[in-house]
């Protein structure tokens, strides 16, 4: 697996985690738990943004990874 494919796979996993946290936040009745899930989603969003930036960098720097 190439570096580009590894980063894309990681991004897909992060998106799945984000969706799971969102589902947990929606389905819980406890306000403190909802807040905790929301805080964790914010952290995941930062990681997702970092990965998306890295994908852009890889595509710009390495010709063979364009559109991987």
Please state the pTM of the whole predicted model.
Answer: 0.80
Residue partners of 25: CB distance under 8 A and separation at least 6: 33, 34, 37, 38, 41
Give the residue carrying structure tokens 């991987």: 68
Are the C-beta atoms of 6 and 57 separated by less than 8 Å? no
Tens of pLDDT along the chain (68 residues)? Answer: 578 889 999 999 999 999 999 999 999 999 999 999 999 999 999 999 999 999 988 888 877 766 65
User: How far apart (Å, rounded) are the C-alpha atoms in residues 20 and 2?
Assistant: 27
Rounded Cα distance, 27 and 22, in Å: 9
């Amino acid at each position: 697996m190439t570096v580009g494919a590894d980063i894309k796979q990681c991004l897909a996993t992060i998106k799945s985690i984000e969706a799971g946290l969102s589902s947990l936040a929606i389905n819980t009745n406890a306000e403190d738990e909802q807040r905790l899930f929301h805080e964790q989603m914010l952290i995941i969003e930062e990681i997702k943004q970092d990965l998306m930036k890295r994908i852009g960098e890889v595509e710009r720097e390495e010709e063979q990874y364009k559109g991987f």
